[in-house]
Structure 1
Amino acid sequence: MKVVLLKKLKKENIAKIAGLASITKGYDADVALVEDRIDVGKYRNLKWIHTSFVGVDVLLTDGIKKSGVIVTNSRGMKTPVPEHAMALVLAFERKLRDAFASQQNRDWNRITGGELAGKTVFVLGLGAIGLEIARLCKAFGCRVIGINNEPVKSKYVDNAALPGKLHGMLPQADYVVACLPLTDETRRLMGAKEFSAMKKSAVLVNVGRGPVVDEHALVAALRKGRIAGACLDVFESEPLKKSSLLWKMKNVIITAHCASRTPHYEDRMVEIFCRNLEAFKKGKKLINVVDKKRGY
């Protein structure tokens, strides 16, 4: 079996993969490890693509969707993204942005922050990441509600519903945390109508996919005070343009699509890939298989 590595990896991780399959630089690969798009037409023997990311919206071209090639992703490495989501929520609630500004000015400003305990957090997407966010929120004493495409039962979620209940649940939320994949159904799911349904004191957090949020509608909602703020790790277009009004908004916290980035990310991704590689060689079922029609 031949594997083509279309992602730069550490030597030790390349060695792990080489211990399970032959690594090729040509177009004769049976398996491809990627982080971006791949022209499947060039790889005539290709049977399986693994992406180093969780989101597959960029990868799923028409060519891949129509092909018989299996696609798997790297979901399951849930620790960094939920922690980052909580860092954003806590930074906003405790006004750490203001505290940092005071530090820069050497200003002894005893800021009064809020309390997360007792707040309602609305998680959009109750997959592995969403459920871990729910667990962490529960540890802080929050009420957790959420939506998901399929029914979910969890001791960390007080009320889980299908997406059709979105508008009825938005007015309950103090924080709306989006961790959804990007599909035709989720694209611009959060727009002007949704922001109008939220409390004026509510905050949007997005650690999923940028285009899930209508950025122009978000900017308008923030400028007009329809919602209290936003904490954003992902954007409709990346990198975020320097001309974006979001950069200078005092009620916005921005991180540069780095929620999943830790020194351990590559190692965990390669572990998932190698586990699947062993299964693939034996003709066994793979984990993290993407439904190409649904887009996740």
Structure 2
Amino acid sequence: MKVLALRQHSPHAALLGELLGSEFDVQGIVNVTPEALNADVLVTTHLSSEEASATTARLVHVPGAGYEGIAWRSLPDGCVGANVFCHEVPIAEYVLHAALAHVFAQHKPLPLTETTWPRAYLQREFRDELYGRRMTIVGTGHIGQEVAKRAQAFGIATTGINRRGGAAPYFNVTAPIGRIDAFLADADILVLCCPLDDTTRHLFDRERLARLPSTCLFINVARGEVVEEEALYEALRDRRIGAAVLDVWYQYPKTVDDALAPSRFPFVGLSNVATTPHISGWSRGLLDRRYRAIADNIRRLKEGLTLENTIWPDR
């Protein structure tokens, strides 16, 4: 069985090959052409319509949760799509770290010496707490639940927004996305961890961002395009949103030599914005967990068993 890991995932072909064993032909391809996609399995996050039409694959496996970069409708009949998670714990830790850092932001300890200690002690300032805060989490799946579980351990009240308002573990309240506006004005912390699709693209436009309190901490670990780019920049620039932690972006390089900013707007110049290069889930151990799950699904394909986490055809 031939397996191809494409583009930025090509360096992981060796790990996948080691997990699958010698009965599988696992290769990594950096420069992808439609003619090269003659394989049983493709491991990729991006596949153009032309590439999807040209492949002979029976399985397209996304090595992550987001799958909006695949031209699913152009795949050959019978081809199945699947994704994989294993990143929810580090992302949840990232979110809580961001919230704690925000609470401690005004507390800048001095080195304690014989000259600074008296003033530091006698004039120390009170700091804020996470306890009693209200967190609205858009997306109550794997990531949202792990965030909510940790938030509740700090005494944070959690509200979850999902498609139909169905109950989910670790949330005090859940509501359908159609009622999202009713929960924004009271959000001390807003966390976006929903998929990007036609229903969530630009979910937060200028009008919806204006519903947030000016003290809100805005954390996006979903996709950049869930939020209107210019509207978010202006809201943060003008301090209509208190602060933001942004891990996901609007422009992504294809190679390390690309001269490309993450956004058309200078978010990095704003003092109330912390920026990271899409690393919230990028922890040691992540790749091993993910590729073990992918290898298991590839074995299932070979043995004719039901695949895990199928996303195409539409569930």
Q: TM-score, normalised by structure 1?
A: 0.87
Q: Is the 8 A contact 2:152 2:170 kept in 1?
A: yes
Question: What is the letter of the counterpart of residue 151 of structure 2?
Answer: C
Question: What is the letter of the counterpart of residue 188 of structure 2?
Answer: D
Task: State the partner residue of 1:48.
Answer: 59
Rounded Cα–Cα distance in structure 1 between residues aligned with 2:263 and 2:179: 36
Q: Is the 8 A contact 2:5 2:13 kept in 1?
A: no
Rounded Cα–Cα distance in structure 1 between residues aligned with 2:203 and 2:93: 24
Q: Is the 8 A contact 2:249 2:262 kept in 1?
A: no
Q: Is the 8 A contact 2:96 2:150 kept in 1?
A: yes
Deviation at 1:241, TM superposition (A): 4.4
Q: 1:121 to 1:261 in 2, by over 3 A?
A: same
Task: State the partner residue of 2:304.
Answer: 283
Of the three residues 252, 257, 266, the one matched with 2:287 is 266
Instruction: Describe the superposition over 1:22-71 as per-residue Cα deviations: whole angstroms up to 9, x where unpaired.
Output: 33675431111124326123323x1111111211111235524x754211
Is it true that 1:84 corresponds to 2:105 in the alignment?
no
Q: 1:275 to 1:150 in 2, by over 3 A?
A: farther
Rounded Cα–Cα distance in structure 2 between residues aligned with 1:157 and 1:20: 45
Question: What is the letter of the counterpart of residue 16 of structure 1?
Answer: L
Instruction: Describe the superposition over 1:244-274 as per-residue Cα deviations: whole angstroms up to 9, x where unpaired.
Output: 3211211111111111112212111111111
Q: 1:8 to 1:35 in 2, by over 3 A?
A: farther
Q: 1:23 to 1:163 in 2, by over 3 A?
A: same
Bigger mean CA deviation after superposition, 121-130 or 225-234: 225-234
Task: State the partner residue of 2:255.
Answer: none
Rounded Cα–Cα distance in structure 2 between residues aligned with 1:9 and 1:155: 34
Question: What is the letter of the counterpart of residue 227 of structure 1?
Answer: I
Deviation at 1:292, TM superposition (A): 5.5
Bigger mean CA deviation after superposition, 83-92 or 55-64: 55-64
SS in 2 for 1:126: coil
Rounded Cα–Cα distance in structure 2 between residues aligned with 1:155 and 1:54: 20
Rounded Cα–Cα distance in structure 1 between residues aligned with 2:235 and 2:278: 22
Provide the aligned C-alpha RMSD in A: 2.7
Rounded Cα–Cα distance in structure 2 between residues aligned with 1:194 and 1:264: 37
Rounded Cα–Cα distance in structure 2 between residues aligned with 1:206 and 1:292: 28
Is it true that 1:231 corresponds to 2:234 in the alignment?
no
Q: 1:24 to 1:262 in 2, by over 3 A?
A: closer
Task: State the partner residue of 1:204.
Answer: 218
Q: Is the 8 A contact 1:130 1:179 kept in 2?
A: yes
Task: State the partner residue of 1:147.
Answer: 161
Name the structure, 1 or 2, with higher relative contact order (CA <8 Å, separation 6+).
Answer: 1
Of the three residues 222, 235, 241, the one matched with 1:221 is 235
Matches within 5 A, 1:110-125: 113-125=127-139
Rounded Cα–Cα distance in structure 2 between residues aligned with 1:243 and 1:63: 31
Rounded Cα–Cα distance in structure 2 between residues aligned with 1:228 and 1:192: 15
Rounded Cα–Cα distance in structure 1 between residues aligned with 2:147 and 2:203: 20
Q: TM-score, normalised by structure 2?
A: 0.82
Question: What is the letter of the counterpart of residue 274 of structure 1?
Answer: A
Aligned length: 287
Q: 1:251 to 1:113 in 2, by over 3 A?
A: farther
- Could you tell me the percent identity over the aligned residues? 26
Name stretches of at least 5 consecutive residues in structure 1 with no aligned partner.
Answer: none
Name stretches of at least 5 consecutive residues in structure 2 with no aligned partner.
Answer: 29-35, 253-259
Task: State the partner residue of 1:2.
Answer: 2
Question: What is the letter of the counterpart of residue 254 of structure 1?
Answer: T
Bigger-Rg structure (1/2): 2
Rounded Cα–Cα distance in structure 1 between residues aligned with 2:262 and 2:43: 30
